[in-house]
Amino acid sequence: MKEGINFVKKMETIELIQTLSTANGVSGFEEEVVKIYKETCQEIGEMSTDGMKNLYIQRKENQGNRRIVQLDAHSDEVGLIVQAILPNGMLRFLTVGGWVANNLSAQKVRVRNRQKKYITGVVTSIPPHFLSESERKKPLSVQDLLIDVGAKSKKEVEEIYGIAIGSPIVPDVECKFDEKRGLFLGKAFDCRIGCACMADVLDELKGEELPFDVVATLSSQEEVGLRGATVAANKVKSDLAIVFEGCPADDLSKESFMIQSAMGKGPMLRHFDVSMITSPEFQEYALEVAKKLNIPVQVSVRSGGGTNGAAIQKATGSPTIVIAIPVRYAHTHHGMVEYQDYLYAKELALGILRKLSNEEITTLIQPV
């Protein structure tokens, strides 16, 4: 019987990850993701939203007069936005979030029109037949690229396709799961894999009494400056925070001794990045939980990057950790995630939440 329940749960989890990955939700236009999340978490407790499209979830078991542990994941994905429509019907665009131009050329995209319908397009590329040797070697820039939706004029784009300046654009990719290898292939795993993990954790905790309140935030606009999380953190005013993320895997791009977020080796907990210094005490607490539960984890010190953890820390001073699931080829059309890494991240978050006591929270927020 238990095996049957576990199988159903696994199928539900896989479907949720695929649905969230495939959903359209470039920064500022996250409503589709929020809608999916509301449906997924409707039994968790009371939900509310704000003008930033942040979603707040209060567990039914919360009492309202206790310490608060905030869980957070960001709903937005990197994408593009229409900047101008050329006379010949081509679309000039700007990037929303971090992109490399070479990862955009010749890729399919979806452009949302004024009726909120998505139109398929292709990021332009020049066939090799028409390139000189010097042109082939020239570095590609976003300014060199346009989007072709098949229109022949600006009038057609505006009146027939309904596309306008400011229309959001996302990669046109449907998430797939390879059961044999336990791999997901899809877009937006930064941070939809974290979104799914947070929802899964909330679901596992249904009906459990904890000595503190848990407030989950599905926050917007992380990819353009942690904007939603800044608003959410000021509203929640947490005592501790756990941020769920999809972090770039580095196992194919670093020397072996520098690999700190390999796919297939468990979640990554960062000590440091350019946006925040993780609470050393909370980090050590999480690593001890992982050790006791035999959960493989990786740790990192990053020269770049940044997460909502920084916004929460700055707003509240809350000790914060980031549980990140490695994603190969993050910020491209086609990311790759190992299902087992997701499960380890979920197990670690549950282990921390189930072990935490009020006394331990007090120690963490008053380390000196």
Rounded CA-CA distance 363/240 in Å is 11
Closest CA to 176 of 186, 164, 167, 166: 186
DSSP conformational letter for 308: H
For residue 138, count other CB atoms closer than 10 A to its CB.
Answer: 10
Alpha-carbon torsion (227, 229, 234, 240), positive or negative: negative
Write out the two tokens for 248: 């770039």
DSSP conformational letter for 60: T
Q: Which residues are annotated as a binding site for Zn(2+)?
A: 74, 190, 223, 245, 331
* DSSP 3-state of 260: coil
- Whether 31 is a known active-site residue: answer no
Rounded CA-CA distance 260/267 in Å is 10
What ranges in 23-162 are assigned the alpha helix state H? Answer: 31-40, 133-137, 154-155
What ranges in 23-74 are assigned the alpha helix state H? Answer: 31-40
Closest CA to 126 of 100, 105, 104: 105
Q: Which residues are annotated as a binding site?
A: 74, 190, 223, 245, 331
Please say whether the beta carbons of 238 and 71 come within 8 A: no
Please say whether the beta carbons of 167 and 113 come within 8 A: yes
CB-based burial label for 287 (10 Å; 0-12, 13-18, 19+): middle
Concatenate the DSSP letters of all residues of 140-187 into one string: P-GGG--EE-S-SSHHIIIIIS---TT-EEEE----EEETTTTEEEES
Q: Which of 30, 77, 222, 347 is catalytic?
A: 222
Sequence letter at residue 292? K
Please say whether the beta carbons of 339 and 264 come within 8 A: no
Rounded CA-CA distance 246/330 in Å is 8
Q: Would you please indicate which residues are annotated as catalytic (active-site) residues?
A: 222
